[in-house]
Chain A
């Protein structure tokens, strides 16, 4: 039990916020949790971690061409920046997830610049006898094929396509992450998808798409 600290009566705790909401966990916004953590509530940090770390990790892994180790480092760093900004978080200005995607994309871009060129060969190719594999393995093969193709996209196209189609972000949210207009996001996503379609076209059969 932590010792009571000065000003404790002013603090917002998750439990209070949850009491107000009928449906406990899902009703508390990321922002309310972040403010609660800024006031010293560790439970709020645990809930934010459970919600956001998987999304940050997934995004970072796609950005970094499937490099799991580096994606984990980026995730830890992005979350640390979230913990640091918690006390000064200005409510209502940006969504926590949008802010976090922006931090993550910047961290990934920095790492990619240092590495210059992801080693695409390091990403495992689907097995040669793919047409015969079971459905679950096909799923995994398709995911790997997509990630390999994503790694070949220019960075900003990769960010836009990943956020739109894999992370389920809206165009205005992506515009905020990339600090560009919504129209520019639409253009990036469209070009990215065209490139992906072309890159993956020759693998249709091995990925289970039968020719007409």
Chain B
């Protein structure tokens, strides 16, 4: 009952339909073939052109300097180091002198004049004597 209500097409009949569709397949028009070939020509021509007129990106002085230094991140690092250096030089914080073992020259004493070589080179005890003797 249901078989007659919903008849199925068998494989052979279906294959005949495929065959019909294969033989009735649309063929490209002359106009379409011409459009496709025009695209091919344009592509080939475009590929042959660039070698003769390379487009060089314009670079300014800043861009050139940036390029040498390694771009903006590198410049940011350099600026930080510079500012830190200026601060250290300007403020000369006490802690820095402590860390350096009192070797930094300060304005408030004549102590700089009293430096001996052994003060700067602790391992060189007797070096001064050697020099005097020599």
Contacts and interface: CB of A to CB of B under 8 A. Distances in A.
A185 interface: no
Interface of B: 6-11, 13-18, 20-29, 32-33, 35-37, 39-41, 43-44, 47-48, 51
Given A40-B47, A146-B17, 9 more contacts: A46-B37, A50-B33, A57-B32, A58-B25, A61-B25, A75-B32, A143-B21, A147-B21, A166-B25
A200 B40 contact: no
Nearest to A58: B25
A128 B35 CA distance: 39
A72 B28 contact: yes
A139 B23 contact: yes
A170 B33 CA distance: 27
Contacts of B6: 198, 201-202
Nearest to B15: A165
B26 A61 contact: yes
Instruction: Determine the interface band of chain A, counting residues with CB < 8 A from chain B.
Output: 35 or more
Nearest to A45: B40
Interface string A87-116: 100000000000000000000000000000
Given A49-B40, A143-B20, A201-B8, A72 B25 contact: no
A68 B21 contact: no
17 contacts: A37-B40, A40-B48, A50-B33, A57-B26, A72-B29, A76-B32, A76-B39, A86-B43, A142-B16, A143-B17, A143-B20, A166-B18, A196-B14, A197-B8, A200-B17, A201-B6, A201-B9
A191 interface: no
Interface in A171-200: 193, 196-198, 200
A63 interface: no
Contact of A166 (B21, B36, B43): B21
B26 to A, nearest CB: 5
Q: Interface SS of chain A: helix, strand, loop or mixed?
A: helix
Contacts of B10: 197
Given A5-B48, A6-B51, A84-B43, A49 B26 contact: no
A84 B40 CA distance: 8
Interface in A23-56: 37, 40, 42, 45-46, 49-50, 53-54
Contacts of A165: 15, 18
A53 B41 CA distance: 16
Contacts of A202: 6-7
A42 to B, nearest CB: 6
